[in-house]
A = this chain, B = another copy of it.
Amino acid sequence: MKPRITDSTKNASNTKPKIADVAKVAGVSPTTVSRVLNNRGYIGEKTRTKVQQAMEQLNYFPNDIARSLFIQKTYLIGVIFPTTSNPFYGQLIFHLENIAASMGYKTLLCNSQGREDKEKNYLKMLQRNQVDGIIAGAHNRRMEEYDIPSLPVVGVDRYLSENTPVVSSDNYDGGTQATQLLVNKGCKHIIHINGPISLETPANLRRKAYEDTMRENDLTPHTYEVGLDDQEKIIEKLFDENPRVDGVFASDDIIASRVLREAKNRNIDIPSKLKVIGYDGTETTRLLLPELSTIQQPIKEIAEKTIEILIKQINGDNGDVQLETMLPVTLIESETT
């Protein structure tokens, strides 16, 4: 039975209780309270209990701001991605926060919306807030702003700056598997669609793998590039310009979904006339579009590795930090191939 907090047990003034208040109630010195809180030095069992009861009674919470100021560590990490609304980032951020929390770190969320100005502002904000580290996967060009002396940074699927470690899935292997699957299923006119090209992201290896695999199979690669708002239009164009297309490898599941949709509009049967494979394989896509074949990224493992590297850096173990980490993908063959 947990003690109900009643007005009579709250401290008289309406301000938050501090260590001194706890000390007064427990009948000990502030130092002793601090000793209990930090488990330092000698503490008697009865004293510890008295102090803990006083804290409960007062509804005392140690002020982590004050603590951070002194110990010069906040246990905060900043997480910068374009948006939590996207299934891939949403799932990735979920795992990042989760794992961070399990290691005692708190997550400051930043949605950059793909805008460089926002990203730079967030970067400043995080530094003002003395975060212990930053995880980012927010933009495509390198930004020297990420070269922050003595502030650990890890990139996810993005090269941030010269010396920033990157974690990503094995995009080249994913691209190979996707393309090869279409080839194996007998497709001859396979088209690749990818997002805005930025040569510096590991994700572009998907395209490279596609092109290599096509050539290895004596097929001609043909790639379309979509932006954020022109996806539908470009996909229509793709079908108009390539009536004989019989395979599409889309660089993410949302684009793949649009291809499926357009095919339906044009009464192109899937998978008999056209095979489609996407990329990402998030929980949400699997739930909403289970029929889509896709290359599934190991999102949780990416998050784990990212946090591992970040915390290693925070702890000063810079020795064995790998600059580039690639994690294996999984081919999910469903009904669209």
Contact = CB atoms under 8 A, between A and B. Distances in A.
B106 A107 contact: no
A285 interface: yes
A276 B245 CA distance: 33
A7 to B, nearest CB: 9
Interface residue tally on A, bucketed by range: 35 or more
A111 B97 contact: yes
A58 to B, nearest CB: 12
Nearest to A100: B109
A287 interface: yes
A10 B149 contact: yes
Interface string A281-304: 011110111100000000000000
A62 B124 CA distance: 10
B290 A128 contact: no
A89 B89 CA distance: 12
Interface stretch (A24-32, A64-72, A205-213): A64-72
A251 interface: no
B14 A150 contact: yes
B111 A94 contact: yes
Contacts of A290: 261
Interface stretch (A79-87, A215-223, A317-325): A79-87
Given A14-B149, A86-B90, A64 B130 contact: yes
B97 A93 contact: no
B111 A109 contact: no
Given A94-B111, A108-B108, A284 B87 contact: yes
A97 B69 contact: no
Interface in A87-106: 87, 89-91, 93-94, 97-98, 101, 106
Interface string A38-72: 00000000000000000000000111111011000
Contacts of A87: 85, 87, 90, 284
Contacts of A106: 108, 125, 129
B10 A287 contact: no
A168 interface: no
A107 to B, nearest CB: 5
B63 A66 contact: no
Contacts of A101: 110-111
A171 interface: no
Interface of A: 10, 14, 61-66, 68-69, 74, 79, 83-87, 89-91, 93-94, 97-98, 101, 106-111, 113, 124-125, 127-130, 149-150, 253-254, 257-258, 261, 282-285, 287-290
16 contacts: A61-B128, A64-B129, A65-B130, A84-B97, A85-B87, A85-B282, A87-B90, A93-B109, A97-B111, A106-B125, A108-B108, A109-B109, A254-B284, A254-B288, A284-B284, A284-B288
